[in-house]
Amino acid sequence: MALFKTQSAAVYGIDAHLIDVEVDMYASGSARDSRMVGMPDVAVRESRERIKSALLNTGFGYPNKTLTINLAPANVRKEGAGFDLPVALGILGAMGVVKGLDRHLLVGELSLDGTIRPIRGALSVAVCARAARIPNLILPADNAAEAAVVEGVQVYGMRHLGEVVALLSRPEEFAPATPDSRGQSAESAIAPDFREVRGQTMAKRALEVAAAGGHNVLLIGPPGSGKTMLAKRLSGILPRLTFEEAIETTKIHSIAGVLGSGSGLLREAPFRAPHHTISDAGLIGGGAGMPRPGEISLAHNGVLFLDEFPEFPRDVLEMLRQPIEEGNVTIARSSMTVCFPSNFMLVAAMNPCQCGFYGDATRECRCTPPMIQRYLGKISGPLLDRIDIHVEVPAVAFKELRENTSAESSADIRQRVEAARARQQTRGFYNSRMPTRLIRKHCALNEAGERTLEMAVRRLGLSARAHDRILKVARTVADLDSSETVSAKHIAEAVQYRSLDRNYWT
C-alpha cells in the first residue's frame, strides 16, 4: 500500500480554501475498483478518465491497482476540473515517480494528451497559497500572469504534465513567473472619450459629479439623445484602480471566467452593460451548484449600466436595493452562504415615456398621461431614492452637432475627479458612502444653504433618504469646487440633479 499527499485549493465566493488531496494505492484489486471521495461534483468525478488518458499519453503509465482518492475536508463540496493536476501528481507520487510535494500547491485541468488547461480563480488560489505559507504554486501557464502579482509565492506556469514532473525533479532549470512578465492588463478596450460628445453640457457635468463622489445616476431623454454614448464614457473619467481594488476586482472576473487568457491585473474601472432580458441570477449572482458572481459583482469598483431601465423585470430591479446600500450581496444556499462585493456605480438610462418623446420640443408624444405614469411607475420610489442624480438628456440641436469647437477630453475631466476623490479619502470614504451620522459634520450648511435646502424639500416633497443624498451630492460639488464648506450654490446644483422629482414623479 502506498499513500501520497498533495495540496490544492477550491474557490468559495471570492476566496480560495486549502484542499488536501490524498491518494492511496492498494497492491490488491484492480483499477475498476478505484473511487473518489470527499463530496466531489460530476466534473471532479469525471477527472479519473481524463487523468488516466493524460498519464498514459504522457508515457507515465497508469497503475492497474485500486486507488482511493480523498479530497479533504470531506464535508465541503468540491467543484470544477482544477483538481486534475494534483490528483495526477498524487497518483505519480504513489507510483514513486515524484517525491514529496509539501512545499507545492497545484491546480489545473488536464486534457487527454497531458496539456494543462486554464482554470478560474487563479488569483484567489495564489492568495490562499501565501496565507498558508506554501512557497510554490504550480498552475496553467495561461493563469501565471494573473497569479504572479501576489508577493511571497513563486508561481510556475506549466503547459504540460511532463513539464510539471521535470520541474519537480530539476527545479533549477525553471524560473518562476514575475509580475513584469504578465503582459498587458486585462481591461477591455480603452473607454471612448468625452471629447466626441457634442452638446449635453449639463449631462456631462452631472456625470463628472457622479464620478467624483461615486454617485448613482439616472439619464432620461428621448431616443437618440446620447444617453448610451454618455454612459459608455463614464468609466474613462474614473480614477485607475488602486492595487487593493485591482486585486479584488480581478479575483471576481477570474472566478466568473471572464478574465482574458494570459491577463494580469485589471487596472481600469470595469464597465458592465447587461441586456434587460437578464435573469435575477445573472444580475445578482447565484446559479446552479456553486454560486457565481453576477453582473453587479463584475461591476465592483466600476460602472453597472442598465439601458432601457423600465424594461428590466421589476422584481430584478428591486433586488438591487440591498447591494446598492451595503456594497455587497449575500447568496444563501442550503449547503453554504457566500458573499460577493458589489460596490458599483449604477448608471441607468430610460425614455421619458413609452414612445420616448414626452417633453420633446420637436416630436409629438403619443402617450396619454395614464400611459406615462404606468411607464414611469415601473421604477419604484424606494429604488429611485437610491439614485442620487437624475439628469435630463434632451435631443441635441443641429447647430451643436455641426459646430467645430472641441469639447473637453476625458483626461481633463479625470484630473478633476481624482482631485475631488483625494479630498474625500482624507475623510475615509467617498461621498456616496458617507455614513448618515457624519452627514451633519461634513455637510454643514450656512444660513443661505439651509434656506435653499428647506425650499427644495418642501416643494418636491422629498423623502429623508433623498434629503441625505442631496447633501452628499452637494458635498461632492463642493469638493470639485475645492471648497471646504457646502454653500447655497452647491445645494442648488445638487437639487437640479433631481429632475424626476421635479418634472415626472410629482
All three cell numbers of 207? 456625470
162, with CB counted inside 10 A (0-12, 13-18, 19+), is middle
Contact 308, 350 (CB under 8 A): yes
All three cell numbers of 133? 505559507
A 10 A CB-CB count for 252 gives 28
What is the rounded CA–CA span in Å between residue 128 and residue 82? 15
- The domains of the chain, with CATH numbers, are 2-181 (3.30.230.10), 194-503 (3.40.50.300)
pLDDT at 320: 93
Q: Alpha carbon of 202 to those of 142, 195, 399, 426: distances in Å?
A: 45, 15, 17, 28
Within 13 Å of residue 66, how many CA atoms lie on the same side as its CB? 8
pLDDT at 131: 95
Q: Alpha carbon of 134 to those of 147, 163, 324: distances in Å?
A: 14, 20, 37
- β-pairing, 292-293 vs 285-286, is antiparallel
pLDDT at 462: 77
What is the rounded CA–CA span in Å between residue 213 and residue 425? 11
Q: Is the peptide bond before 179 cis (omega within 30 degrees of 0)?
A: no
Q: Percent of the chain, pLDDT > 70?
A: 95
Would the pLDDT of 385 be above 70? yes
Cα angle 271, 274, 275 (rounded to 5 degrees) comes to 145
Contact 19, 5 (CB under 8 A): no
All three cell numbers of 156? 510556475
Which amino acid, one-letter code, is at 475? R
Handedness of CA 81, 86, 88, 94 (dihedral sign): negative
**Model-level pTM?**
0.87
454618455: which residue's cell?
Answer: 230
Which tens digit of pLDDT belongs to each residue from 162-215? 999 999 999 999 999 987 544 344 344 466 888 888 888 899 999 999 999 999
pLDDT grade, residue 476 (50/70/90)?
A: very high
pLDDT grade, residue 501 (50/70/90)?
A: low
Phi, psi of 63 (to 5 degrees): -70, 135
Would the pLDDT of 31 be above 70? no
Per-chain mean pLDDT for the chain: 88
Q: Which residues contact 487 (CB under 8 A, 6 or more apart)?
A: 445, 446, 448, 449, 478
All three cell numbers of 165? 514532473
The partner residues of 286 in beta bridges, in order of sequence, read 292
The partner residues of 498 in beta bridges, in order of sequence, read 390
481594488: which residue's cell?
Answer: 245
Annotate 451-479 with b (16+ C-beta within 10 A) or e (fewer).
ebbeebbeebebeebbbbbbbbbbbbbbb
The residue with greater pLDDT, 505 or 349, is: 349
Which tens digit of pLDDT belongs to each residue from 80-130? 889 999 999 999 999 999 987 889 999 999 999 999 999 999 999 999 999
Comparing CA positions, the residue from 102, 105, 101 lying closest to residue 122 is 105
pLDDT at 197: 86
Would the pLDDT of 1 be above 60? no
The partner residues of 37 in beta bridges, in order of sequence, read 70
What is the rounded CA–CA span in Å between residue 412 and residue 408? 7
